[in-house]
């Protein structure tokens, strides 16, 4: 939904343009008659221009020479005390280093050990420990063990892991037996280690401090989880109406800041420009990246994330990632492919009989493929040109799967890519890809990261994901929620009070405080195919910059709005709706305190205490909501601050000072 669109196929446009030159009006009319996705796939694949098209295999391979040069550059940077530069160079070398032979792996182990030294100097102790373990995993030379064991012990010391530090010092002392050192140097190492051991042994109750970091986001639903929609709070109900489709509604009054949804995606795809800085599996930004054994395209947090990727999508996508990125296929297209590559062919063949079953009478889980399959795709509203465009993309993605052996049976040794017709399995999977290319237009979400550089903060789009439960939330230009991400998981909290029975709406991109109604309506109509009827659109609320600061909008007991000039000296103001007088004295008294509260909360933000600031801003918003009626400048400025504070609970990256 939000800002993940599929309108720009970039280089793929050329492929599509050339395809159009090979077909005539008769071909187009024949295509127009197809009513099922599998039929469309079969027909388009039948053109020789399409089935003869070759998918190029990966181009970003490993290179021992490149890795060696990067290592040497890293060593020079390290010797010059440029540890952050050294870290970057060692990481690039690790990504490029082949892993085929035993000598390749030994060279990789040395790179991990070298990088652990840079990490130690940068005080990234946990990452350094991970690299030391990786060095051992890749057969680090035993005559150098003493060095990394010593570094390991000092990392443990810095982390207050005293018991572990003692154990590592003992290992370092023992490893000196194999060290290729002159006697004098060996003795000096032994003395230094024995001094450290003697100091540690003085502590009779040596133990390791807890390594667990306090969570800034407890993530518990106040009233428990919804039984049918377990990723949502029990205060959220999912309903369905002819004009609205499925949508979220408040089952109880909801307070600002309340947790409404936590959901892991069915699938998530990282943008290629972040493939060397973020984990390709979980989207977190590791201090020290872990390489794919085959390609130099992507990185991971650790062995766990690498294994998860290789056991699912990356085993099929790894050889063709370069081709996919060079094609210009949008993140939405890559998500349509990822939905398939996360599981093998047999998984989908087993699900085939139940795909069209309704999700209404069972638990709605993000891990259940049928929830993704049954997301709305508005197929009946699509033009022939739209279908043709998406079908060709689906066939291109299908050719990628053929190239990587997705359809290869266990007893086959040869991958068949020269066939001019599709098997039933290939038609089935191609039809699924085409279905998802349609539904993802309306049901995908961006994954974001808050990037902080000095005093500047910016939310950055790093990837796309499918959240089946969140996809059921409708749009409002004045949303009731804010979203942020922890890795690929999405967290949704209320951004304002929501009354029981009120729609719990999110925002698909254009928000009324920043974008005029005409532009919002155009965006929503062109990308999501609906006319927005939210309160901000119906009443044509002004953008934030145009809100009149000279007029206050007080809430009358009858529910109407009473407009009051800021310079008023009256306490009893007539309400045009109920004809009674509203007493605004109490409200004015409350507003006297709000400026002070806002400044206090802002000072907490500037101090970096975002959780305390969030609590203050939430308290302020409740006061404003009890007194004033949106749109009101102070109200929405407070919401903006709440949104920013909440973003600090999710993916954040502090750009290091050089």
Is a pLDDT exceeding 70 seen at residue 213?
Answer: no
Distance CA 395, CA 50 (A): 8
Which of 388, 286, 295 has the alpha carbon at shortest distance from 57?
295
CA distances from 459 to 42, 312, 484, 527, 613 (A): 42, 29, 10, 22, 19
Note the pLDDT of residue 10.
Answer: 56
Distance CA 280, CA 426 (A): 27
Which of the two residues, 62 and 549, has the higher pLDDT score? 62
**∠ CA 223-488-392 to the nearest 5 degrees?**
125
Is a pLDDT exceeding 60 seen at residue 590?
Answer: yes
The pLDDT-based confidence of 393 (bands split at 50, 70, 90) is very high
CA distances from 177 to 73, 188, 192 (A): 31, 13, 15
Is a pLDDT exceeding 50 seen at residue 1?
Answer: no
Is a pLDDT exceeding 80 seen at residue 587?
Answer: no
Q: Give backbone dihedrals phi and psi of 521, rounded to 5 degrees, phi first.
A: -60, -40
Residues 486, 467 contacting (CB under 8 angstroms):
no
Is a pLDDT exceeding 60 seen at residue 410?
Answer: no
Region 213-229 average pLDDT: 79
Is a pLDDT exceeding 80 seen at residue 6?
Answer: no
pLDDT tens-digit readout, 291-300:
999 999 999 9
Note the pLDDT of residue 372.
Answer: 96
Note the pLDDT of residue 357.
Answer: 78
Residues 194, 173 contacting (CB under 8 angstroms):
yes
Lowest-pLDDT range, 235-244, 327-336, 529-538, 585-594? 585-594
Q: Cα 414 from chain centroid?
A: 37
Region 48-77 average pLDDT: 89
Sheet containing strand 259-263, edge to edge, reads 259-263, 489-494, 481-486
Distance CA 574, CA 580 (A): 6
Distance CA 84, CA 386 (A): 48
Note the pLDDT of residue 303.
Answer: 96
pLDDT over 90, % of the chain: 76
Find the distance separating the first CA and the last CA of the chain, reported in whole Å: 37
Distance CA 98, CA 60 (A): 12
Note the pLDDT of residue 64.
Answer: 95
Tokens representing 233 are: 């709070």
What angle do the packed helices 102-121 and 125-137 form, to 10 degrees?
A: 170
pLDDT tens-digit readout, 69-125:
999 999 999 999 999 999 999 999 999 999 999 999 999 999 999 999 999 999 999
The pLDDT-based confidence of 61 (bands split at 50, 70, 90) is confident
Spell out the long-range contacts of 61-65 with Cβ–Cβ below 8 A and sequence spacing 24 or more.
Answer: 61/295, 61/296, 62/96, 62/97, 62/98, 62/99, 62/294, 62/295, 62/296, 63/96, 63/98, 63/296, 64/97, 64/98, 64/104, 64/107
Which of 428, 377, 355, 303 has the alpha carbon at shortest distance from 45?
428
The pLDDT-based confidence of 412 (bands split at 50, 70, 90) is low
Is a pLDDT exceeding 70 seen at residue 59?
Answer: no
CA distances from 533 to 198, 441, 512, 520, 541 (A): 74, 20, 13, 11, 12
The pLDDT-based confidence of 418 (bands split at 50, 70, 90) is low
Note the pLDDT of residue 294.
Answer: 94
Is a pLDDT exceeding 70 seen at residue 351?
Answer: yes
Residues 367, 298 contacting (CB under 8 angstroms):
no
Distance CA 365, CA 385 (A): 34
Note the pLDDT of residue 8.
Answer: 42
Note the pLDDT of residue 481.
Answer: 97
Lowest-pLDDT range, 12-21, 333-342, 464-473? 12-21
* Domains defined for the chain, CATH in brackets: 13-53+266-408+420-444 (no CATH), 236-265+445-539 (2.170.270.10), 551-654 (no CATH)
Distance CA 517, CA 308 (A): 45
Q: Give backbone dihedrals phi and psi of 222, rounded to 5 degrees, phi first.
A: -60, -40
Helix (H, G, I), strand (E, B) or coil at 234: coil
Residues 198, 211 contacting (CB under 8 angstroms):
no
Q: Give backbone dihedrals phi and psi of 525, rounded to 5 degrees, phi first.
A: -70, -40
Note the pLDDT of residue 584.
Answer: 77
The pLDDT-based confidence of 627 (bands split at 50, 70, 90) is confident
Average pLDDT, the chain: 91
């Amino acid at each position: 939904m939000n800002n993940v669109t599929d309108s720009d196929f970039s280089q793929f446009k050329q492929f599509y343009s050339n395809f159009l030159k090979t077909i005539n009006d008769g071909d187009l009319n024949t295509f127009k008659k197809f009513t099922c996705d599998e039929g469309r796939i079969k027909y388009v694949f039948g053109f020789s221009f399409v089935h003869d098209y070759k998918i190029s295999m990966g181009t970003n391979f490993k290179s021992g020479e490149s890795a060696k040069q990067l290592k040497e550059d890293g060593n020079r940077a390290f010797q010059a005390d440029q540890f952050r530069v050294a870290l970057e160079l060692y990481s690039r070398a690790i990504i490029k280093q082949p892993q085929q032979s035993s000598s390749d792996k030994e060279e990789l182990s040395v790179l991990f050990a070298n990088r652990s030294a840079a990490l130690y100097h940068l005080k990234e102790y946990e990452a350094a420990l991970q690299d030391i373990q990786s060095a051992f995993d890749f057969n680090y030379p035993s005559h150098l063990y003493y060095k990394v064991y010593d570094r390991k012990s000092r990392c443990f010391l810095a982390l207050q892991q005293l018991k572990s530090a003692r154990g590592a010092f003992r290992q370092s002392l023992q490893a000196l037996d194999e060290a290729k050192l002159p006697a004098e140097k060996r003795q000096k190492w032994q003395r230094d280690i024995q001094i450290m051991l003697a100091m540690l042994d003085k502590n009779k109750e040596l133990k390791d401090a807890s390594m667990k970091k306090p969570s800034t986001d407890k993530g518990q639903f106040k009233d428990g989880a919804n039984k049918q929609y377990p990723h949502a709070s029990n205060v959220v109900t999912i309903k369905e109406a002819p004009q609205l489709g499925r949508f979220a509604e408040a089952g109880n009054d909801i307070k600002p800041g309340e947790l409404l949804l936590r959901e892991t995606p069915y699938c998530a795809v990282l943008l290629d420009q972040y493939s060397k800085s973020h984990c390709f599996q979980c989207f977190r930004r590791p201090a020290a990246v872990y390489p794919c054994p085959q390609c130099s395209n992507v990185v991971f947090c650790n062995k766990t994330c690498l294994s998860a990727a290789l056991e699912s999508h990356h085993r099929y996508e790894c050889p063709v990632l370069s081709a996919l990125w060079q094609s210009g296929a949008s993140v939405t297209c890559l998500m349509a492919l990822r939905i398939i590559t996360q599981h093998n062919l047999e998984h989908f063949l087993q699900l085939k009989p139940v795909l069209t079953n309704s999700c209404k009478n069972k638990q709605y889980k993000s891990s259940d493929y049928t929830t993704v399959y049954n997301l709305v795709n508005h197929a009946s509203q699509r033009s022939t040109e739209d279908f043709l465009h998406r079908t060709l993309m689906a066939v291109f993605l299908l050719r990628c799967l053929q190239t990587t052996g997705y359809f290869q049976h266990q007893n086959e040794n040869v991958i068949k890519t020269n066939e001019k017709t599709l098997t039933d399995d290939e038609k089935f999977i191609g039809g699924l890809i085409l279905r998802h290319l349609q539904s993802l237009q309306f049901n995908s979400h961006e994954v974001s990261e808050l990037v902080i550089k000095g005093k500047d903060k910016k939310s950055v789009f790093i990837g796309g994901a499918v959240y089946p439960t969140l996809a059921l939330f409708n749009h409002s230009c004045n949303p009731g929620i804010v979203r942020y991400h922890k890795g690929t998981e999405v967290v949704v909290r209320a951004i304002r009070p929501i009354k029981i029975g009120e729609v719990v709406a999110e925002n698909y991109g254009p928000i009324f405080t920043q974008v005029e109604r005409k532009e919002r309506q155009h965006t929503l109509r062109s990308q999501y195919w609906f006319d927005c009827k939210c309160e901000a659109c119906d009443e044509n609320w002004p953008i934030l910059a145009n809100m009149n600061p000279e007029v206050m909008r007080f809430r009358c007991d009858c529910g109407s709005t009473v407009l009051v000039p800021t310079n008023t000296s009256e306490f009893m103001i007539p309400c045009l709706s109920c004809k009674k007088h509203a007493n605004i004295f109490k409200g004015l008294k409350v507003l006297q305190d709000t400026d002070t509260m806002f400044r206090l909360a802002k000072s907490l933000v500037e101090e970096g205490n975002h959780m305390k600031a969030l609590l203050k801003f939430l308290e302020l918003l409740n006061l404003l909501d009890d007194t004033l009626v949106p749109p009101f400048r102070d109200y929405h400025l407070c919401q903006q601050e709440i949104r920013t504070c909440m973003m600090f609970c999710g993916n954040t990256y502090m750009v290091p000072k050089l």
